[in-house]
Amino acid sequence: MPNAVLTSPVPLGWYLILSAILFGLGVAGFIFRRNIITVFMSIELMLNAVNLSFVTFSYQFKQVDGHIYSFFVMVVAAAEAAVGLAIILTVFKNRSTLMIDDVNSMKY
Amino acid sequence: MNLWLIPILPLLGFLANGLLGRRVPKAFINTVAIGSVLLSFLWVVKTLLGLGAIETKYIEHYYTWIQSGMLNISVDFAVDRLTAIMLLVVTGVGTLIHIYAVGYMEHEEGYYRFFAFLNLFMFFMLVLVLAQNYLLLFVGWEGVGLCSYLLVGFYIAEQYATTAGNKAMIVNRIGDFGFSLAIFLIVKQFGSLDFTKVFDAAKGMPVEASIGILTIITLLLLVGATGKSAQIPLYVWLPDAMAGPTPVSALIHAATMVTAGVYMIARSATIFTKAPITMDTVAVIGLATAFFAATIGMTQMDLKKVYAYSTVSQLGYMFLGVGVGAFSAGIWHVMTHAFFKGLLFLGAGAVMHGLHGELDIRQMGGLRKYMPITAWTLFCASLAISGVPGTSGYFSKDAILVAAYAHAPWMYWVGVLTAGMTAFYVFRAWFMAFTGEYRGHAHPHESSLVMTGPLIILAILALVGGFAFKVPHYLEGMFTEGPENEVMALVSAAVGLLGIFLAYVFYVAKPGLADSFAKSLGGLYTLVYNKYFVDEAYDAAVVQPLLEGSRTVLWRGMDAGLIDGMVNGAGHRSRGIGAILRRIQSGNIRSYAAWVVLGSVVVLLAIGFAGGLR
Amino acid sequence: MPVNFMPSGTDYLRILPEIIMTVAGALIMLIEGWLRENKKRNLAVLTFIAFAAALVAAVVANASPGLSFSNMLIVDGFATFFRVLVIGVGILSLLSAVQYLKREHAESSEYYALLLFSVTGQCIMATANELIMIFIGLEISSIATYVLAGYLRDDKRNNESALKYFLLGSFATAFLLYGVAWIYGTTGSTNLSVIRIALLTPGSERNVILAGTAAALMFVGFAFKVSAAPFQIWAPDVYQGAPAPVTLFMSVGPKAAAFAVFIRVFTTAFGPITSHWEPFVWSSALLTMIIGNFAALLQTNIKRMLAYSSIANAGYIMVAIAAHNEIGVAAAMFYLAAYAFMNIGAFAVITHFSRQGEKFVNIEDFAGLGWKQPVTAGLFAVFLLSLIGVPLTGGFFGKFYIFKAALDANLVWLAILGLLNSAIAAYYYLRILVVMYMNEAGEATDSVQPIGVGIGATLWVAAVGTLVLGIFPSVVLNFATASSALLK
Amino acid sequence: MTLLDIVIFLPLLAFVVALALPKDNPQLIRIFCLIASLVVFLISLGLIAPVWSATPGKFALENNQVWIQSPAINYHTGLDGISLWLVILTTLLTPLCVLVSWRSIDKHIKQFFAFLLLLEFGLIGVFCALDLFLFIVFWEVTLVPMYFLIGVWGHERRIYSALKFFVYTMAGSMLMLVAIIYLYIQAGTFDYTKILAGLQSGAISLSSVEQFWLFLGFFIAFAIKVPIFPLHTWLPDAHVEAPTAGSVMLASVMLKMGTYGLLRFCVPMFPGAARECANWIVVLAIIGIVYGALVALVQPNMKKLVAYSSVSHLGFVVLGIFSFTQQGFDGAVYQMLAHGISTGALFLLVGFLYDRRHSLEIASYGGVATPAPWLATAFMITMLASVGLPTLSNFIGEYLVMQGSAQVDFRWTVFAALGPILSACYLLWLYQRTFFGKASEDLTHHMPDLNFREYAIMVPLIVLMVWLGSYTQSFLPPISASNAVLLGPFDASREIHAKSPAHKPALAAQGELANAR
Amino acid sequence: MTALIFLVFAAIAVICGINLVVQTHPIASALSLIGVMGSLAILYLQLGGEFIAMAQIIVYAGAVMVLFIFVIMLLNAGAETPTFQASSFVKYFGIILLFGFLVLMSFIIQATLPKTEGVTFGAFQGTAADIGRKLFTSYLLPFEVTSILILIALVGAIVLARKEV
């Protein structure tokens, strides 16, 4: 029985669930991590999860469109990374901290 | 016949004096004030002569006042015999009092104002008398109330005077409350306010054995009448109204305005006679007022107060008269009362004038020597009010009492008792003021001819007025003449004489007896002396609760507390909600992210359920 | 596979505004090097010209409506409306920024370039007919705005604003993208028309649920961008922290563009499953109005207060979307236009009034402005009255159309609650009027500078716009109605 | 472009011009505003004749232009007997308000007078608008200038009051907006005449539930404005804090917007719902009458006293309207006018006192009549009018209203009739404490009698009080005619029916009325 | 075989993902993220995404993550210090929300996706050629527009990071 499981084709849903799990982990990282950079990385994780979904669906439809979308997402992620890290740098320069909870001068 | 000229002349006098009075000499004011009333009087005479016997009502239509839907109220004046009497009394006595006032008011501030108001009063009083529908009557009714207010509070710098003015107006308003309600019901019932139409319609209605619409209407009219004519329970304003200058008391609060209630009931006789319950009420109220006012009158020390309570008492007689169905007797008494009570007040004014404002009868005495004309004219008036046979009071009062006897004997006996008391206190005042030795500190002197002249004329009228003018006979066409009963009339006259005798004993023959007698009565005397504490009771039971309730419960509690509290509370609550909602905005990025997650979970759940996911 | 490799002339015409702005943006950065320090104003002039050209191009492009670039792009009335709107917003925010940048000693070509790029992104969003285009447009617009929000990089609040905006924005975009993935998985396409057709074809229930999930996820993304509850939380902090002219810009431009795609996606692609998404748009609308208005009651910082106000305004527009009918769409379009004018006007006043280093941005600082600078204050009053929703201003008609749409869709309670909300809102707007006209002038008012050309122009244009929309709304409204009818 | 449009837009034009005048020449501004408002008043007198000669049921001077195509909103204005006098009341009071503010406004003069003109524009518009949308536009336009008048030129607690005034009214008008939109969706038009015709002919059918809610939407907005108990608490605050001109316009005209709305829109459009709710509303009106009077009785502040008296007086108007009788309607409209004049005059007089002594506390006066007899006289006449003395203005209104209500339910009348008693109480007491008594040296010194400007303000008002009270035929016929049309959907059984002998004259009176038209 | 590979790399991805979340030092998290990316690249390959798998490794795991690590190093970011300012909302509801989100998503996926179809390696090949062709035809516009995005990233980074004004 385990053998059969291992050799048979993998249901598409599994990929999607993996994608959902990774997305969820990204969310978890965002809301539980305190270092801004880690938080940012969590977003990257979420984007990766989305990419997995795209590619999976692409397989389902046997189209390359999904791949192209992932490609665009990567570009966007890269651009975001550049800007995001620049923002983080300025924050650090001004506050000398990377703790996200410290960045809360404006509230209510 | 240009009836409109009758009231308009005094109105013009009012306008002229009111607008120009401050800049013109007194002579001008006098001319205008007296002239306008005199002209009015002459016009009345001319009109009445022109109309002759006035077998039917003479009506003049001027213009539509209010026209709304089917409701049509016009400005119409009418003259019938009842009106004729009233017109003569009002303008006649009015003229005399105007003349008197010239002397009396000579040194007062606001001279022009006084005459302007007096003229205005004449205008409204004449409108009241001439009105051919209830609303126009109401105009006059309220208008005279206004003038009463203005004149009672004539001494505007004095708190007591203005308060008395307010009291007069407000108590009258309470009465008018009833009157106005009656008007609404009349329109509802008859579709019109015109006397002719209303009475024509009412004639066809049956006499109401139990409370019906006519009873309600008449009771409400009665409320109005009690206010204006100072009957129980609304008489309280009249004694206070003596705060005004004495000519005012004479004209408004004795001769004319206060009798408007009687006039109105007599005018509405057609409806009243259909409502026996009301009639009884009128009679009982009149009797009670007469009696209680007389008791109070016996104890008062202020000359004008004595006469004031006597007025209330006499008005009670008139009510008794109309209440027992003797309308013409009531009107007769209105007329004679105008003579003798006007005279009493004018005389009191003359005394006051001579004593530089002193009114306490304990501070008088022996004035006969200093002011003989005043003394003897007042004596005539006192005789008349006491119902000494031959004087005017004898005729009218006895006509009432006789009618009362025919209606219910007990009313007669109470009335007779009251008549005795009346004679007692009137002569008590006279004796205390004019006989004996002078007890005061002023320099008494007789008044000028301007003042004594009217006194003399009125004294003559008071003596012969009843004999000369047989009102019931004149009004026969309108009201059935009362029964005649010589015996009962003589009994009451005898009781009157007894009263005079007692007064003589108490205050001339054996002075000091009165005090000991009063002491022996103790609490009762105090009660009566303080007018049964009615003012105080009203104050405690109505005025103060109303004020305090309005202040603490309605204003501070309801308005500022509850409603505004709720409004402001809503404001505060909004801010409170805002304060809670902005807590969401903790400034913490992770918390914000968590909100985003929360939102997405909720949205997904919603979609899931909406999509039928099980 | 016949491949049309080269785009046609029409294709270019249809993206001419974007091309103009992009080119101009790049050009401006290149030119800066040759300009002397005191000539930097020319950069602004150039940017202005670029915007103006783009505006003309957008109008011209509307003359040849249609799809372009393999259905990636659609030029229709709706798109043109929003293009014109966002370019207009760009112009006004440019005008109001010049003086500010000079004051902050931060005049540079990058600011203008980023502004141009951001507007380009918004134009792309407005014209996109494809989810991936929308995504890219959104990212262009957003990233440029992130940078602008943190433009004064030595300012702590600017940093914080940028960081919050950036992190949360990316976070929400991830959700949006996840939704895109799902709708792709459901229908095999990301083209809005195709999706619509796919959802219209009678299929299994499965599709509907999947599409609904996708819609929900995308809703998260869009609602975040338009700052609708419960995804509005970022807005106050970000608006407060960003430089005033940037706040001016981002409270209107990106929001309008986001609403454009929101409306287009939800009425076109998700039109067939309206009944699924309507309830949560409905509740979100209500929640947004309530949170925005109530939280604004207590604010002391005027920027933050207007941030809450803009949340509340987003709520009104959400009501129009919840009405999911043509009138609703037209109403939302109209309201956005009116909102653009009044909000820009209000923020322009703040830009003018605040001093270097974001000084004097508390409501109390405006004390006595009404008598010190009557014209400025008068115009501010017009904007505030419009925000309150007093007739003869755009705000009133906007609200009126929105709630009319809601009632058309039988959302009676939403309409009533919404309008009562706007009565509450009157309270905090009036507070500014109170301070301006009824309090004694303080330090801030005494030292206020005369109004500059740029801001002056912005204020007048905004005021005229607000009033014209209020008195003669037909022009805009007819266009909006006509274009909303085509939106399928 | 009818004469009416000129009357509507001339104040707006004057507003714009006034704003453009140089602010350092206050005299020029004052004179300009005075002349402008006087011109408007004179032109508005020209409106009387067309309304008088208009056929019943038709609006005079109608102007119907498309304003916005979709949704179809028209600039539709017109006048009938109900609105005619309210318009003239507005145009009359505006110049008087300019006059009374002549010296007492000493800061931001230009803006003050400009706002007065803007207010006039809005108020006239409200009374002329025959398109529901246009109506609400004007309705809210009036809010803004009044808000500023209270907030900028008011007394100590002006800001609170101004805010309260604005937010209160705003909340109400939002509900009305919902109702109007809903009605539009049902009817497809905002046009009042069309909607009314449609509703009456059944072309627009509303379920009774819909009717009820729509009625309520309108009613609450109007009730706040009137104000009907318990929605009245904004009024005393607003009055007390407003400058004299503000109080006058507020009391004399703005409150009438509410009652006018009730009469024009609420009742005729939703007769069923109105009839259903009438009992409740009448109870509120009567509570208002008595309650307002009782609270007025104990006020230590003159303006507050007069403000509460307005609550009381306006209760009569509401009572009249919800009696659904000819007399009730006529009386309501008449009372609006009369109250506008008498209460306006009271506020003006209180303003005169305030100008002299800078206090509104009754306790700081006393004996004013001695140094200022004409002021006292004017106050007396005005007070008497307000008290409802026959031959003065308010009496007619109150009488007709109570007569109308008596046709329906006599109990209403009994309670309502308490109003005049209490009004005598509070006003006489006020008068006594203010004008009677011995004047202190200080007061005498600061209490000159009326000056020419003040005479110019008071004389026309006093003349009007007498005129309105003693010769109603100059005013009532067009009101009656318009009301008769509005009464169409209500049963005639409530009307006065004369007993047989009186029947014919009543018919003759009808003929007379027809002639009057 | 496919399944085995899937399970192995899915497990690695999840473990790395969890590691990312639980590690307090950013470097550790970054390395975990690279782990996730790597394993995802394998899964892409499995799903026929040759090009995308390459891009994943080169662009993502390579370039982007290097940037991250560079910044971490530059800022000398240490391990997180526990703070007490964390929002109570997160503390109390974070886990629940997350759990809810996950359960919901999985539930929807489970309920709606076809379970019959499976992934077999090689059944579909998205070659670089296909992708390139599409990028220059159908996806020409987004492809070009992306350049603006990159330009912005460039400008943005310059604006924010350069020293003087």
Interatomic CA distance for residues B48 and B92, integer angstroms = 13
For the ranges B414-428, B561-575, D328-342, D392-406, the lowest mean pLDDT is seen at: B561-575
pLDDT digits (tens, 9 = 90+) for D92-114: 999 999 998 888 888 888 888 99
The three-state DSSP-derived secondary structure of D35-73 is HHHHHHHHHHHCCHHHHHHCCCCCCEEEEEEEEECCCCE
* Distances, alpha carbon C283 to alpha carbons B303, C219, C287, C333, E63, in Å: 84, 13, 6, 21, 43
- Alpha-carbon torsion B11, B14, B18, B19, what sign? positive
Is the distance from CB of C179 to CB of C218 less than 8 angstroms? yes
- DSSP codes, B160-203: HHHHHHHHHHHHHHHHHHHHHHHHHHHHHHHS--BHHHHHHHHH
Same-domain pairing of E70 and E2? yes
pLDDT at D501 over 70: no
Task: Let me know if residue E114 belongs to a domain.
Answer: no
Would an 8 Å CB–CB cutoff place B590 in contact with chain E? yes
In chain C, what percentage of residues exceed pLDDT 90?
33
Please compute the mean of the pLDDT values over residues C285-300 and round it to a whole number. Answer: 88
Q: How many domains does chain E have?
A: 2
Give the pLDDT confidence score for residue D491 in this predicted structure.
66
Q: Does E119 reside within a domain?
A: no
**Closest-CA residue to D284 (of D304, D258, D303):** D258
Q: Is residue E48 part of a domain?
A: yes
State pLDDT tens for residues C365-395: 888 888 888 888 889 999 999 998 888 889 9
Kindly state whether residue E150 falls inside one of the protein's structural domains: yes
Min distance A50 CA to chain C CA atoms (Å) = 5
pLDDT for D414-448, tens place per residue?
999 888 888 888 999 899 988 888 888 888 888 88
Asked if the model's pLDDT at residue D508 lies above 80, the reply is no
Length of chain A: 108
Q: pTM for this structure?
A: 0.89
Sign of CA dihedral A5, A11, A16, A20: negative
Residue type present at position A58: S
Decide: D476 and B66 in contact? Cβ < 8 Å.
Answer: yes
Confidence (pLDDT) at D492: 65
Which one, of D454, D426, D455, D445, lies nearest residue D370 by Cα? D445
Between CA B553 and CA B575 the distance in angstroms is 28
Residue E56 falls within a domain, yes or no? yes
Instruction: Please tell me the distance from the alpha carbon of residue C469 to that of residue C41, in angstroms, as a whole number.
Output: 32
SS3 of D498, please? coil
Question: What domain range includes position E159?
Answer: 125-165
Considering only CB atoms, which chain C residues are within 8 Å of D136? 391
Q: Tell me, letter by letter, the H, E, C secondary structure of B465-529.
A: HHHHCCHHHHCCCCCCCCCCCHHHHHHHHHHHHHHHHHHHHHHHHCCCHHHHHHHHHCHHHHHHH
Contact C330, C465 (CB under 8 A): no
Grouping H, G, I as helix, E, B as strand and the rest as coil, residue E98 is helix
Which tens digit of pLDDT belongs to each residue from C93-151? 999 888 888 888 888 888 899 999 999 999 999 999 889 999 999 999 999 999 999 88
| CB-based contact D401:D320 (threshold 8 Å) | yes
Least reliable range by pLDDT among B337-351, C5-19, D86-100, D135-149: C5-19
- State which residues of chain B have pLDDT below 50: 614
Q: Dihedral through CA A22, CA A24, CA A25, CA A28, nearest 10? A: 160
Q: Is residue E70 part of a domain?
A: yes
**How many A-C residue pairs are in contact by the CB < 8 A criterion?**
114
- For chain C, the average pLDDT equals 87
Residue C106 DSSP code? -
d(CA E26, CA A41): 9
Q: How far apart are CA C16 and CA C113, in angstroms?
A: 17
> Residue B597 and residue E111: Cβ atoms within 8 Å?
no
Contact C474, D69 (CB under 8 A): yes
From B578, B589, B612, residue closest to C298, measured CB to CB: B578
For chain D, which chains pass the contact test of at least 3 CB pairs under 8 Å? B, C
Would E103 be classed as within a structural domain?
A: no
Confidence of residue D462 (pLDDT cuts 50, 70, 90): very high
Domain boundary, last residue among E44, E78, E112 = E78
Query: Domain holding E27: CATH number?
Result: 1.20.120.1200
> Are residues E69 and E5 both part of a single domain?
yes
- Give CA–CA dist C19/C41, Å, rounded: 23
Closest CA to B220 of B270, B256, B261, B166: B261
Q: Which of A42, C227, C154 is nearest to B590 (CA)?
A: A42
Q: How far is A1 from chain E (nearest CA, A)?
A: 13
Within 13 Å and on the Cβ side, how many CA atoms surround D473?
Answer: 15
- List chains touching C (3+ CB pairs under 8 A): A, B, D, E
- Give pLDDT, residue B614: 45
**Taking CB atoms and an 8 Å limit, are C216 and B604 in contact across chains?**
yes
Contact E40, A51 (CB under 8 A): yes
Q: What is the ipTM of this complex?
A: 0.87
CB contact under 8 A, C419 and D175: yes
Give the C-alpha distances (Å, rounded to integers) separating C174 from A45, C256, E110.
Answer: 10, 21, 22
Question: Each residue of E53-95: pLDDT tens digit?
Answer: 888 888 888 888 888 888 888 887 777 766 555 566 666 777 7
**pLDDT beyond 90 at C340:** yes
Residue D232 bridge partners (DSSP): none
Residue with the two structure tokens 């795609």: C261
Candidates D165, D167, D169, D233, partner chain B, best to mutate (most B CBs within 10 A)? D233
pLDDT at A6: 59
Whole-angstrom Cα distance, residue C458 to residue B563? 45
| Residue C39 clears pLDDT 70, i.e. is over it | yes
Tokens at D265, concatenated:
């829109």
Q: What type of residue sits at position B76?
A: D
Q: How far is A1 from chain C (nearest CA, A)?
A: 30
Q: Does residue E71 sit in the same domain as residue E133?
A: no
Q: Which residue(s) pair with C301 in the sheet?
A: C362
User: Is D503 exposed, middle or buried (CB count within 10 Å of its CB: 0-12, 13-18, 19+)?
Assistant: middle
pLDDT digits (tens, 9 = 90+) for A7-49: 667 788 888 888 888 998 898 888 888 888 888 999 999 999 9
Instruction: State pLDDT tens for residues B61-74.
Output: 988 888 888 888 88
Q: Is residue E106 part of a domain?
A: no
What is the pLDDT at residue C24?
92
Please tell me the predicted confidence (pLDDT) of residue D503: 40
Rounded CA-CA distance C69/C424 in Å is 48
3-state secondary structure of D76: strand
Residue B320 near residue B404 (C-beta atoms within 8 A): yes
How many whole angstroms separate alpha carbon B220 and alpha carbon D186?
Answer: 50
pLDDT bin (cut points 50, 70, 90) of residue E163 is low
Q: If you ran DSSP here, which 8-state letter would residue D262 be given?
A: I
**E4 and E60 part of one domain:** yes
Final residue belonging to a domain, choices E40, E60, E78: E78
* pLDDT digit string, tens, across residues D119-139: 999 999 999 999 999 999 899
Residues in CB range of C364: below 8 A, 6 or more apart: C300, C435, C439, C442
Going along D321-475, which residue ranges are E strands? none
Choose among B368, B377, B551, B553: nearest CA to B463.
B377
Is there a contact between C104 and C243 (Cβ–Cβ < 8 Å)?
Answer: yes
Whose CA is closest to A106, among C163, C251, C297?
C163
In this structure, the answer to whether residues E131 and E73 fall within a common structural domain is: no
The pLDDT assigned to D517 comes to 40
CA B99 to chain centre: 23
pLDDT tens digit string along E101-127?
887 777 777 776 665 567 777 777 778
Ranges assigned E (strand) in C114-259: none
| Assigned token pair, D315 | 């209760």
Whole-number average pLDDT of chain B: 86
How does C133-156 read in b/e, with b if 16+ C-beta sit within 10 Å?
Answer: bbbbbbbbbbbbbbbbbbbbbebb
E3: pLDDT strictly greater than 50: yes
Same domain, residue pair E72 and E14: yes
Coil, strand, or helix at residue D77?
strand
Report residue D498's pLDDT band, with 50, 70 and 90 as the boundaries: low
Which chain A residues have any C-beta within 8 angstroms of a chain C C-beta? 16, 23, 26, 30, 36, 39-40, 43, 46-47, 49-50, 53-54, 56-57, 60-61, 63, 65-66, 68-69, 72-73, 76, 79-80, 83-84, 86-88, 90-91, 93-95, 103-108
Residue E65 and residue E9 share a domain: yes
Quick one: pLDDT band at residue D493, thresholds 50, 70, 90? low
What is the per-residue DSSP string for B62-96? EEEEEEETTEEEEEEEEE-HHHHHHHHHHHHHHHH
Structure tokens at C352: 């003018």
Beta bridge partners of D73: D68
Contacts of C147 in chain E (CB under 8 A): 152, 155-156, 159-160
Percentage with pLDDT > 90 across chain E: 11
Q: Which two tokens stand for residue C417?
A: 């609650």
Q: How far apart are CA B352 and CA B359, in angstroms?
A: 6
> How far does CA A22 lie from the centroid of its chain?
7
Does residue D505 carry a pLDDT above 50?
Answer: no
pLDDT in tens, C184-243: 888 888 888 888 888 887 765 667 778 888 888 899 999 999 998 888 888 888 998 888
> Which of E78, E106, E136 corresponds to the end of one domain?
E78
Element at D176 (helix H, strand E) = helix D158-187
* Element (DSSP H or E) covering residue B61: strand B58-68
**Chain C nearest CA to D77, separation (Å):** 17
